[in-house]
Amino acid sequence: MTDDQLDAASETLWRHWQQGELIVELPEVIRPVTREDGYAIQSRLDRRSAFPLYGWKIAATSDAGQAHIAVDGPLAGRLLAEHVFTSGCHVAFGRNHMRVAEAEFAFRMAVDLPPRATPYTVDEVLANAGTLHPAIEIPDSRYVDFTVVGAAQLIADNACARDFVLGPAAADNWRSLDLAAHRVVGSVAGKLEREGIGANVLRDPRLGLVWLVNELSRLNLPLYAGQVVTTGTCLVPLPIAPGDRVMCDFGELGRVDVSFGD
């Protein structure tokens, strides 16, 4: 795709995001067909934010999630600072079409990880991670049916990113815990409760973090110290509506909650 096509695709998706409107898919003349073109469209988001990039999200980190949106692997998206909140906050529901909240393990990096030719190992990445946080992602899509548009268009649409809520840092002993077996309970007050474990995230949230680092490296992008990586939902997404309060309990790793307005 040319720069003009990439810019036009980015502008189309951004306009629909800001106006809370949906599109069936991008027009054929500006529709990405490769993951690389999808990421090139997504990268234009950096120009639209007034702040440095807050971090990254991973979508489709479970087999069920990948099957649901017809992709064969995870997708990376950007966390924009304007859409990041702290635990206990009140977030406007707005025209959220996906209407779900996701319980996620999130890592804040302590050291820059620049792109390189050889893949990063698990030990290298974890040695450079600073803190672990319980988190809630509130995703959304600009497509009428995000399950049929394919990986390239989903990546272009920022891997269904919208809002993100970061909980307090867990105690330092998180490094010694079996995060794959770690139990998480998510609830929508007065409505439902669901349970999940870390293994639902690429078999271990730490493997999700490593996947993200190497995906960025493949794209010649760094992961900077201070940036946060949220690794994907560890339980079946919780359906939400205006007025709901969502709590995600990560046991000894802490809790995170958010309430929704209109």
Query: Which residues span the domain enclosing 116?
Result: 3-260
Show the tokens assigned to 120. 């990063």
Give ∠ CA 186-189-191 in degrees, rounded to 5.
Answer: 90
> What's the pLDDT at 1?
95
Q: Which of 230, 238, 260 is nearest to 134 (CA)?
A: 230
Question: For position 80, which CATH number holds?
Answer: 3.90.850.10
CA distance 163 to 80: 8
What pLDDT score was predicted for residue 68? 86
Query: Can you give the pLDDT at residue 38?
Result: 98
The 10 Å Cβ neighbour count of residue 204 is 21
pLDDT value of residue 52: 95
Instruction: Report the pLDDT value the prediction gives residue 115, as an integer from 0 to 100.
Output: 98
Cα 28 to chain centroid, rounded: 27
Q: Quickly list H helices, the chain.
A: 3-19, 35-43, 63-68, 122-127, 151-156, 205-218
State the pLDDT at residue 72: 87
Find how far residue 127's CA is from the centre of its chain.
22
**Gap between the Cα atoms of 13 and 152, Å rounded:** 13
Terminal-residue alpha carbon distance, the chain = 39
Distance of CA 97 to the CA centre of its chain: 16
| Res 222: pLDDT | 98
User: How confident is the model at residue 29, as a pLDDT?
Assistant: 98
Residue ranges, the chain, pLDDT below 70 = none
**pTM of the full structure:** 0.96
Q: Which helix (H) or strand (E) holds 84?
A: strand 84-86
Query: Are 107 and 170 within 8 A, CB to CB?
Result: no
Residue type, 146: F
Q: For position 3, what pLDDT does the model report?
A: 97
Residue 261 structure tokens: 């307005």
Q: CB of 163 within 8 A of CB of 242?
A: no
Rounded Cα gap, residues 148 and 203, in angstroms: 25
* CA nearest to 86, candidates 129, 51, 136, 159: 136
**Number of structural domains in the chain:** 1
